[in-house]
Structure 1
Amino acid sequence: MPTTIRVTASDTSLYHVAARQLGDATQWWRIARLNGMADPDLSGFTTPVALLLPAPDTSQDSGVPGVTS
């Protein structure tokens, strides 16, 4: 079951949120996907916005699925 948190521009990006909440900054895309977002930048949030967080998943490889370097 997803958890809900509130974020603002001071949280900077979904990278920071993922590092703090999921223990892995590269899992920012999981938060974005769950919330219908495509951009990890939170600088446009002027008031607190509720975000759903996925459950931590240590089986996830680092990085965004389907994207190779």
Structure 2
Amino acid sequence: MAVQVTAADVSLYHVAAVQLGDATQWWRIAQLNGMTDPDLTVLAAPVFLEMPPVSTVLTTGLPERSA
């Protein structure tokens, strides 16, 4: 699934909170889309980002601390 994001979304933290229910999982969206910076305020135009599925396995947004 892809969602459209703009500079108004501010960061991948916000997108992850809305789409995945956990802001700390922003890194999953970044990894899937070849990004390293969660800042979206630099976007000049809307872009579509692929979303990972909501994880029922991750207990936190941090990969090294997940179950």
Instruction: Note whether the superposition's TM-score is higher than 0.5.
Output: yes
Structure ranking higher in helix proportion? 2
Which of 13, 29, 32 aligns to 2:30? It is 32
Residue segments in structure 1 that go unaligned for 5+ positions in a row: none
Percent identity, please: 58
Residue 45 of structure 1 and its aligned partner are, at CA, apart by 0.5
- Flag as ranges the 4+ runs of structure 1 deviating above 3 A: none
Unaligned runs of 5+ in 2: none
2:62 to 58, 61, 64: 64
TM-score, reference length from structure 2: 0.88
Deviation of 1:38 (Å):
0.5
Cα RMSD of the aligned pairs, angstroms, is 1.4
How many residues in Structure 1 have an aligned counterpart in Structure 2? 65
On the 8 A contact 2:22/2:61 being kept in 1, the answer is: no
User: 2:13 & 2:48 partners in 1: Cα distance?
Assistant: 16
**Amino acid aligned to 1:65:** P
Kindly indicate whether residue 49 of structure 2 is the aligned counterpart of residue 51 of structure 1: yes
Instruction: Give the whole-Å Cα distance in 1 for the aligned partners of 2:28 and 2:22.
Output: 11
1:23-62: CA deviation from partner (whole Å, max 9, x where unpaired): 0001000000000000110011011011000010021132
Indicate the residue corresponding to 2:4 in structure 1: 6
